[in-house]
Amino acid sequence: MSKLSKKGPWARGFTLMLALCAAAPAWAASALPGPAFPSYANAAAVDAACTQALKGVRSRVAQLERRKPDAGWLAAYDGLNEHIEDAVGPIFLLSNVHPDKAVRTATEACELRWQDLFSSLGQNPRLYAAAKATQPRDALDAYYRQLTLEAFEDAGVGLPAGPRARAKAINDRITALSQTFDKNIRDAAAKLPFTEAELQGVPESVWKSAERDAQGRVLLGLDSPSYVPLMQGARDGAARERMWRAKTNEGGAENLKLLAEIATLRKEYAGLFGASSYAEFTLRRRMAGTPAAAQRFLAEVQQAVAARERQEVDELRAAKARDLGTAPEATRLERWDASYYTERLKRERYSVDQQAFRPYFPPQESLALVMRIIEKTLGVRYTRVEGTKLWHPEAQAYAVSDAASGRALATLYVDLYPREGKYNHAAVWSFRNGSTLTKRAPQAALVVNFDRQGLTLDEFETLLHEFGHAVHNNLSATRYASLAGTSTLRDFVEAPSQMLEEWVYDRRVLDLMKEVCARCQPVPDELLKQARVAKRYGQGLQYARQQLYASFDLELHAATAPEPMALWARMEGATPLGHVPGTMFPAGFSHVAGGYAAGYYGYLWSEVLAADLRTAFGADKLDPAVGRRYRDTVLANGGQRPPQELVEAFLGRKPSTKAFFDELRP
Ligand SMILES: [Zn+2]
C-alpha cells in the first residue's frame, strides 16, 4: 500500500508555498478486476471491519510463524502482505476521500490500531529467522529475500530487547504525530473572505458560485482550484498576500512542534542502529546511497539554475515596478508577487494565459484523453464500469485490460472534483498490488481536485503525472505483490510520472482529443507553441525552490537534527526572495512529516532518470514499440529488480544525467 503525491502542495508555481496481473478470462467484460470496493454505512461499520481485519491478520501471522522455511515460504510471506492490503487498503484510502467526517475519523482511528500490528510485525523474530533460513530459487527470490531481511533489520528485529522496544515505540509515535500533522492541515479548512474588487483578475469561474459571508464577500479555501488562480491572477497585492500567508501558515504552530518532535525521534531512531543521522540511515537503502551523494547532486542542480533564478527575480521586479509605476531599484519583489508577475510576463511575452486552456480541456474529456494516450502507447484498454458503489457518487471505476489479448489486468478508480474534507492535492493510492504468482489484479485510486470548467495545461500535466503512478500500479507484473508497481525505491518512483509530463506539449499527443471528444476544439498551435516556450520561463525559481525543499529535508534529518523553523528561516533567508517573518512553511510540509523523510530530494533525483527515459521515445511519444518495451521492462518489473537495472535494460545503456542538465542549463 502506498500513496504518492506530486511535488509539494506547491505542485506547480514556486510561490505555492505550502506544500496485475492477469486474471483469468472469467472476468466479464464489464466487471472490475479484483474485489469490489467495500462500502461502510457508518463509522461503526469501519470500526467493526477494522477489528475483524486485525483478528484475521493476527491469525495469519500465527499460521506463518508455524511454517517451516521451505521453498514456498517467501510466497506465503507475500500472501500475508496481500491479506493485509485487502483488509485495510481501502480503509486507509477512505480516510482521505470519504465525504462523512465521522467515517474519516473512524478510518484514522483504525490506522492507529494497525500501526501497532505493523511495527510488531516488522520486529517479529520468528518471521525474520524464517526469512533468513529460506533458500532463494532464483535472482528474483534472492532480491525479495534481501529486501525483506533489510526491512526486518531496519525495524529493529536484531536489536537487544531495550532498544528494540524503543524502536517500536518511536515508530508508533511518529505515525501518530504525522497523522495529526496531516489532519491539522486537512481539517483546518480555512476560508478567506474577499471582496469582488479584490478578486479583479481572478477568473469568474473560480469564485462566481462560491459561498459568501454575511457581508457578501466571497469565501475561498486554500485548495488548489482557488489558491492557484488567485495567486496567479489577483491584481490586488494585499489580497494575494493574505492568501499566501494563510497557505504558508497552513498547519499552524502546533505542526511546527510536531515536526520538531518527529525529527528528533528520527535521529534517535537512527542512533539505535549506529547511524549518525536519519538521512544516513535512510539513504543507504536508496539509489543515492549516502546523504553526501544526494547533497552533491543538489549542489549541482543549484549551480545549474542559480543564474536563471537571479535573472528571473530581476525581471519580475522590473515587471512589478512597471506595473506600479515605481522605481525598479526601490521595488521589492515579495513572495506573493512572484507567481502573479510570472504569469503576467508570460502573457506579455508569450501571450500565454493558463486560463485560456480550460475550454480545450473539459475534466471528463481530459481524463478520456489521458486514457487514450496510455492506450496507444502502452497497449492497454480502459473500460468504464457504471453502477459501481464507491465512496462518493462522482467517483468513477475503470477496468484496465490488455489491448492485444483482451486479458483483464487491473482496476482504476478516479475521483476528479474538490469537496469538503477531501484530500486537497493530487495523488494516487496504490491500495492493492498485483502478483503473477497468485494472479492478483492490482487496484489504484487517482485523486485530484479539478475545476469543473476545465483544466489549465499545467493541470493537465498534473493529471498525466498522476496517471504515471496509476499505470505503474496497474501494469505491474511482478511475482510478489510486495514488490509490485510503485513499491520501488523512493528516489526512482517519481520517474515514470515525470517522464509523462512532457507529453502535454506534443501536438500529436493532444490531437488524440478528437478521438475521445467530438465537440472539443483542438488547442490552437500558437497557444501550444507559446506555452512550450513559456514553460522554461520561471524554471530558475521553480528548480531553486525544489532544491531548497530537498536541502531543507536533508538538513532537518542530518546529524545535528536542527529545530525546523530556525533552520527554514535561515535557509529560505539565504534565497533571493528571502524569508518572510511570521510565516511557517514547514508547518504545512506534510511530505517531510510523513513518508518522504530524508527523501524529498528524490523528486529531483528521479527527474534525471525521467529525462533519460524520455530520450528513448525521441520524436514519437506515441511509439507503441518503445511503449511496449517500456511497459515490459520498467513498469512490469515494479520494484522486483533494482531501478538502475531496469533503466539500463530499457535504454540499452547506462543511465546518464546529460538530458536533465541539458534541459536545465540556460
Ligand atoms: Zn508523483
Q: Is 533 helix (H, G, I), strand (E, B) or coil?
A: helix
Model pLDDT, residue 348: 87
In sequence order, the 6+-apart residues with CB closer than 8 A to the CB of 603 are 7, 494, 546, 550
Model pLDDT, residue 5: 57
Model pLDDT, residue 359: 96
What gap in Å lies between CA 564 and CA 518, rounded to an integer? 52
Model pLDDT, residue 205: 87
Q: How far does residue 605's CA lie from ligand 1's centre (Å)? A: 13
In sequence order, the 6+-apart residues with CB closer than 8 A to the CB of 621 are 377, 502, 503, 506, 508, 509
Q: How far does residue 446's CA lie from ligand 1's centre (Å)? A: 11
What gap in Å lies between CA 638 and CA 472, rounded to an integer? 7
The helix or strand, by DSSP H or E, that contains position 659, with its residue range, turns out to be: helix 658-664
Q: How far does residue 337's CA lie from ligand 1's centre (Å)? A: 27
In sequence order, the 6+-apart residues with CB closer than 8 A to the CB of 586 are 255, 256, 259, 552, 564, 565, 568, 592
What gap in Å lies between CA 266 and CA 495, rounded to an integer? 27
What gap in Å lies between CA 476 and CA 529, rounded to an integer? 35
Q: How far does residue 501's CA lie from ligand 1's centre (Å)? A: 11
How many C-alpha atoms does 639 have within 13 Å on its Cβ side? 27
Model pLDDT, residue 167: 95
Q: How far does residue 498's CA lie from ligand 1's centre (Å)? A: 7
Angle of helix 291-324 versus helix 602-614 axis, rounded to 10? 90
Q: Could you tell me if 96 and 449 are in contact, meaning their C-beta atoms sit under 8 angstroms apart?
A: no
Q: How far does residue 291's CA lie from ligand 1's centre (Å)? A: 22
Average pLDDT, consecutive stretches of 10 residues, N- to C-terminus, the chain (666 residues): 50 24 34 92 96 96 96 96 95 95 95 88 96 96 97 96 96 92 82 97 92 96 90 97 95 96 97 98 96 97 94 96 95 96 89 88 98 98 95 98 97 95 90 97 96 94 97 98 96 96 95 97 93 88 96 97 95 96 95 92 96 95 97 98 97 96 87
The helix or strand, by DSSP H or E, that contains position 293, with its residue range, turns out to be: helix 291-324
Q: Enter the pTM of the model.
A: 0.88
Ion ligand 1 neighbours (CB, 5 A) are 4, 6, 494, 497
Q: Is 374 helix (H, G, I), strand (E, B) or coil?
A: helix
In the block, cell 500529436 appears at 508
The one-letter amino acid code at 415 reads D
Q: How far does residue 494's CA lie from ligand 1's centre (Å)? A: 5
Q: How far does residue 107's CA lie from ligand 1's centre (Å)? A: 24
What does each C-alpha distance from 490 to 172, 444, 499 come to in angstroms? 21, 18, 16
Model pLDDT, residue 4: 63
Q: How far does residue 64's CA lie from ligand 1's centre (Å)? A: 35
Model pLDDT, residue 12: 24
What gap in Å lies between CA 113 and CA 627, rounded to an integer? 42
